[in-house]
Amino acid sequence: MTFRERYLETLLFGKPDKVPLLPGGPRESTLQAWRRQGLVEEDYYAAMVKELGLPPIQNDMVDPGVSFEMLPMFEEKVLEHKEGHYVVQDWQGAIVEISDKFDVTYLRFARDFVTRKWHRFPVENRDDFERMKERYRVDTPGRFPEDYASKAAEMNDSGAVTAVMVKGPFWKLRDWLGLENLCMLFIEDPDFVRDMIGFWKDFVLEALDRTLEHLRLDRIMFSEDMAYKAHSMISPAMAREFLQPSYFAWVDLVKSRGCPIVDVDSDGYIGELIPVWIEAGINCCDPIEVAAHNDIVAFRKQFGKKMAYTGGIDKRAIAAGGSAIVAEVERVAPLVKEGGYIPGCDHGVPPDVSWPNFVEYSRLLARVCGWV
């Protein structure tokens, strides 16, 4: 089977020859630690596969390069440097404080684990929002790659999984307003929230419609971080009222064009949100953080084959290694056999996971997934 065939068969509860071997990816600080611990090759995945004694594995997932972000972006700049911290304006127009171990571009690319303190957000009132809307025009130059139709045709014929990532309505409004401001606005001015969500829904629909004129889409992921360690950030009832209309509209569009995997990504405890997503036609979610009280085995018993998963392996167990990671992989092994599950680290692989432990963990996954 090709990776695409294997990926789709697995998440659609089919009969793959093997389950994709996707143990998870490191951030920049993790790679730096691994190189000190013996990783020589630039490509950590190829090095891991070689350590396992396997032939090269192709896990090709391609993005067509369509931008769903603001254009133009705000100028990234340092406003102040004090006591080991930068105060910066990031690419989304927020004023943010970060350690001076990082530069402002770390806020645009998730290259590492960066703690942030927000001082101000770009949308504080309706006038700010009207100005923000000007940055989200589908016909803005640069929204689509040059010669997009021919590039999409190449992707369609490549055998790779074609994938698109879109920020969900909660995530996008959080970018504009900040979490606390958004949560207060749900109560104090729900009509303004509906207006912003409606604008975002329509923008994404138009951009997706043009994207799918040429692209055979296999997977769309809605980035929607909206949960704390034990509860969602807004109630399921509010998620149904405010967020589901966007989900329904987007899911209807992509499924009408043949996209089989509709995935939502949210950190935190998602148990009370999974029913909301299932109702909207979403059929996969991740990363299933164990430290946030997510129990993927219990989820399977509760929701059956209505939801597939990727991730779900406790990063703390990988860091501990030895019997801890053996027990953790054994915990999820029955779900791998049932289908609808690609096991992997439940977030970006942190630097306390050593290179030897990562290799040993990947070896255990390779056995469970049918590679050895």
Strands 219-223 and 95-99: unpaired
The SS3 assignment for 219 reads strand
Question: Does residue 247 share a domain with residue 166?
Answer: yes
Mean pLDDT score of the chain: 96
Question: Does residue 102 share a domain with residue 219?
Answer: no
pLDDT (0 to 100) of residue 147: 93
CA distance 303 to 278: 9
CATH number of the domain that 330 lies in? 3.20.20.210
Whole-structure pTM over 0.85, yes or no?
Answer: yes
Domain boundary among 121, 140, 159: 121
Residue range 246-287, pLDDT digits in tens: 999 999 999 999 999 999 999 999 999 999 999 999 999 999
Question: Does residue 280 share a domain with residue 145?
Answer: yes
Question: Does residue 94 share a domain with residue 174?
Answer: no
When pLDDT is averaged across residues 202-220 and rounded to a whole number, the result is: 97
When pLDDT is averaged across residues 330-347 and rounded to a whole number, the result is: 97
CA distance 323 to 295: 20
- Is residue 109's pLDDT more than 90? no
- Is residue 308's pLDDT more than 90? yes
When pLDDT is averaged across residues 169-183 and rounded to a whole number, the result is: 97
CA distance 323 to 63: 38
- H or E segment at 106? none
pLDDT (0 to 100) of residue 143: 97
CA distance 158 to 167: 26
Please name the residue that has the structure tokens 């998730």: 110
Residue 145 pLDDT grade (very low, low, confident, very high; cuts 50, 70, 90) = very high
Q: How many domains does the chain have?
A: 2
Question: Does residue 148 share a domain with residue 9?
Answer: yes
Q: What percent of the chain has pLDDT over 90?
A: 97
Single-letter code of the amino acid located at 353: V
Residue 159 pLDDT grade (very low, low, confident, very high; cuts 50, 70, 90) = confident
Question: Does residue 229 share a domain with residue 94?
Answer: no
Closest by Cα among 101, 70, 108, 71 to 85: 101
Three-state secondary structure string covering 193-211: HHHHHHHHHHHHHHHHHHH
Residue 110 pLDDT grade (very low, low, confident, very high; cuts 50, 70, 90) = confident
Half-sphere exposure in the Cβ direction for 214 (13 Å, CA): 17
- Is residue 197's pLDDT more than 90? yes
Question: Does residue 187 share a domain with residue 94?
Answer: no
Question: Does residue 211 share a domain with residue 192?
Answer: yes
| 96 bridge partner residues | 88, 118
Residue 368 pLDDT grade (very low, low, confident, very high; cuts 50, 70, 90) = very high
Question: Does residue 94 share a domain with residue 233?
Answer: no
pLDDT (0 to 100) of residue 48: 97
pLDDT (0 to 100) of residue 128: 98
pLDDT (0 to 100) of residue 111: 85
Q: What percent of the chain has pLDDT over 70?
A: 100
The first and second tokens of residue 5, run together, are 């065939």
* Angle 97-99-100 from CA coordinates, rounded to 5°: 110
Strands 219-223 and 161-167: parallel
Question: Does residue 252 share a domain with residue 138?
Answer: yes
Question: Does residue 305 share a domain with residue 174?
Answer: yes
Question: Does residue 235 share a domain with residue 96?
Answer: no
- Is residue 72's pLDDT more than 90? yes
When pLDDT is averaged across residues 340-344 and rounded to a whole number, the result is: 98
For residue 103, give its domain range.
75-121
When pLDDT is averaged across residues 105-129 and rounded to a whole number, the result is: 93
Alpha-helix residue ranges (DSSP H) falling in the chain? 3-11, 28-36, 44-51, 126-133, 148-156, 169-177, 179-188, 190-211, 236-238, 244-256, 274-279, 296-303, 315-320, 322-338, 355-368
| 80 bridge partner residues | 87
CA distance 274 to 255: 19
Residue 20 pLDDT grade (very low, low, confident, very high; cuts 50, 70, 90) = very high
Single-letter code of the amino acid located at 43: D
Give the chain's end-to-end CA distance (angstroms, integer). 16
Domain boundary among 62, 89, 121: 121
CA distance 343 to 311: 5
